[in-house]
Amino acid sequence: MMGFEIPDLDAPVVKATNCIIAASPGLFPPPPPEMPCIRCGACAEVCPHELQPFELYWFSRARNFGKTQEYYIFDCIECGCCSYVCPSHIPLVQYFRFAKSEIWAREREKQAADAAKERFELRNARAEREQAEKAERLARAASARTSEKKVAPERPPAVDGPPAAAASEAAATASDAEAIRKAAIAAAMERARAQRESAQPRNTDGLSTGQQREIAAVEARRAVLPATPAGGPGADSVPPAASQRDE
């Protein structure tokens, strides 16, 4: 018998309902335990579509759904004749329903994967097209700039005067820079001399006469050194500190 067991009386009757059977334990006793298939062929003899239910059973149990389709599992109308005559009490229809549901689920997954692949390929094609269009725009802009440069006349560099005048001006600039440098050096030397002259000895209170004479001699030599070169006649005119100490 084909169909499904209704667990509740509140289940509705739909357009595809053929009949309703009021089951009883005597009419539908509990099924005996399932036993191994003996390949007797009784299920194939009663199949109204002349299928091979025992082959479909083996492939469904092994989850070889490709083979079940090769044996036309979707031609099965799930009438239940094969299950009714099976001496091993195998629920063949349940196996066939399981195989069909798995095949449908895999088909849905395949369709979703194909749709995702198609979207991905379209996205890549769009990205490549946009990249090509961008490269083409850049190439057109570059060619336009190149053509503008070729059309625009080239201006010669501006020349203020003849080469001789430019050379003389450069020489004058160099001489001015040298004069400025010498003036800066002279000013620095003058500042150093003024600082030396303005320097006053510190801590000179309470010194002895000999120490004061030594300090005076050092100051005299310091005053003479900038004006007289080393080893000149002025160097001999200053008495040494030792002779002053002897006095």
The pLDDT score that the predictor gives to residue 155 is: 56
- Residue 92 has a pLDDT of 93
Give residue 158's pLDDT: 52
Write down the pLDDT at residue 238: 44
pLDDT of residue 47: 93
pLDDT digits (tens, 9 = 90+) for 52-101: 999 999 999 999 999 999 999 999 998 889 998 999 999 999 999 999 99
Q: Following CA atoms 169, 171, 173, 179 in sequence, which dihedral angle do they give, to the nearest 10 degrees?
A: -150
3-state helix, strand, coil in the chain (%, to 5): 60, 0, 40
Widest CA span in the chain: 159
Which residue shows structure tokens 């549901």? 101
For residue 168, the model assigns a pLDDT of 67
For helices 92-151 and 53-61, the axis angle rounded to 10 degrees is: 60
Spans of the chain below 70 pLDDT: 1-2, 152-170, 199-206, 225-247
103-118 residue pLDDT tens: 999 999 999 999 999 9
* φ, ψ dihedrals at 239, nearest 5°: -70, 145
- Domain boundaries along the sequence of the chain: 42-109
Distance between CA atoms of residues 219 and 201, nearest Å: 9
Burial class (CB in 10 A: 0-12, 13-18, 19+), 84: middle
pLDDT at residue number 22: 80
